[in-house]
A = this chain, B = another copy of it.
């Protein structure tokens, strides 16, 4: 790929957000979830549906729901949206951030002033093997040369490879789980609002069985339903909640045998691109929402963002750097781990929760000071990688 430096030619603001509870929402349809968050986001933005120039929907789907026309859901939310361009984008578990980035680009392109971004997924209704094979397909179909124990099995192999190279991080993973569960208690939308504690997360037990060695149940994010939305606008007038300082994307090979299973190089590249565009360094960040689909992923992302050198991610959690009172609080929302992971909604949710921190609206999750936040979202084992730097308005 080109190594040209990208610059942000215009100001793009987040002016409104919407979010449903994440969890098992058996009685809510995709349409209902979308309508809910679109209504919330437009109300919050004080934007009329007739002001929306374009909309983007992040949904993974991949057979989880029979509906094959996700973009059409948005028009159902309000009849004044009739005629609005709506496009679905998909990049596996990063589909939500893909939608956010396309929304940002539509504003930068000058073809839209105000853009609606929606992420949505229903997963809990599907049989576990369908969810597993859908997620697995998202990572392994092309490689497909070995049997695995599902999607958790793939990340277990990352943890194994990491341990072989740098030493065991099972305790560090348990600390990540404990931190994110403790953080999730303060998030009103989180699927799992229970402070499980380090000892529970560390110990294999009937209530915390090994899912795929070395990943215990508490190392895995849950299967979830949910939706999130935001409204983007050109410029930064009085209604801005946060502005986009930079964004970056990088894709890696699907087959694991074509790359270092522990390095997550394209994840690092996406973060570097976003930080370069924003002109920020790690020291500038007040918080980060990162993609902890499994606890090992949060550790690897610490290294991908340069918080620690390779092989030393465990220090960042064991020394408390990423706790709410640490030098870089990570996943104050509870992360995918506690908040839940309705695939297409996840990236949008990360942007919503970071915006809440930057606009002082994060309630019990609120940091005393939050001026710059990083969002990091990945599809597959670091295959599709998105990063965004948001700044308080």
Contact = CB atoms under 8 A, between A and B. Distances in A.
A69 B252 contact: no
Contact of A63 (B6, B50, B63, B69): B63
Nearest to A269: B83
A121 to B, nearest CB: 13
Interface string A69-110: 111111110001111111111111000001001101110111
Contacts of A87: 89, 91, 98, 101-102, 249, 384
A266 B83 contact: yes
A84 B80 CA distance: 37
A214 interface: no
A124 interface: no
Chain A binding surface, main DSSP class: mixed
Nearest to A49: B1
A68 interface: yes
A66 B133 CA distance: 10
Contacts of A66: 137, 141
Contact of A105 (B1, B109, B134, B265): B109
Interface of A: 1-4, 6-7, 9, 31, 49-54, 62-63, 66-76, 80-92, 98, 101-102, 104-106, 108-114, 134, 137-139, 141-142, 248-254, 265-266, 269-270, 379-380, 383-384
